[in-house]
Amino acid sequence: MLVGRALKAKGVHTADVQAYLKRVKDYPGVTGLITFDETGDASVEWGVGVYRNGKLVPIPENE
């Protein structure tokens, strides 16, 4: 969602999208409030998972 908003607001140039995201503060995302620091890192951790036997299981990075 945030990248889509950045692209819509600033276009497809990487530097413009990065500048947009660095200004994001306390965006209410599904993982909690998201803020980007001066290096562009998000304040929340995330991962990719799959539901197995009714439970969300993280997918290891090497898969």
The answer to whether position 31 is within a domain reads yes
- Report the pLDDT value the prediction gives residue 32, as an integer from 0 to 100: 80
For residues 9 and 61, the model is more confident at 9
Work out how many domains the chain is built from and give that number: 1
- Residue 47 domain-assigned? yes
Helices assigned H by DSSP within the chain: 2-10, 14-22
Higher model confidence: residue 46 or residue 6? 6
Structural domain for 16, as ranges = 2-58
CA dihedral 51, 55, 61, 62 (to 10 degrees): -70
Q: What was the pLDDT predicted at 63?
A: 59
44 inside domain: yes
SS3 17: helix
The model carries a pTM of 0.56
Residue 63 resides in a domain: no
